Amino acid sequence: MTATTASSTKPYLQIQGLVKKFGDNYAVDNIDLDIYQHEIFALLGSSGSGKSTLLRMLAGMESPNQGKLSLMVRILPNLHPMIAPSI
């Protein structure tokens, strides 16, 4: 689900085709998500639905098997280590 706001036409956080597997099990399976600046966002789901895994990928603690995470139009794995903590 994507919504645009008057303040921005580009997402502050963009997730495209994100996949994370542990063995044969999908923790995150092909997630697409756009979050715009000043939006309020909640991540809800049952136990084992991939919430923590998604947040760990956003924090750089896990690497996705497939897909792209972009924050403020920068691809997250490519952020300079000195820039990442300031975001």
Query: What would the pLDDT profile of 13-72 be if each residue is shown by its tens digit?
Result: 999 999 999 999 999 999 999 999 889 989 999 999 999 999 999 888 899 999 999 888
CA distance 11 to 85: 20
- CATH domain 13-76 topology: Rossmann fold (3.40.50)
Q: How confident is the model at residue 85 (pLDDT cuts 50, 70, 90)?
A: low
Backbone angles phi, psi at 11, to 5 degrees: -65, 145
Rounded to 5°, the CA angle 58-62-64 comes to 80
CA distance 55 to 51: 6
Whole-structure pTM over 0.85, yes or no? no
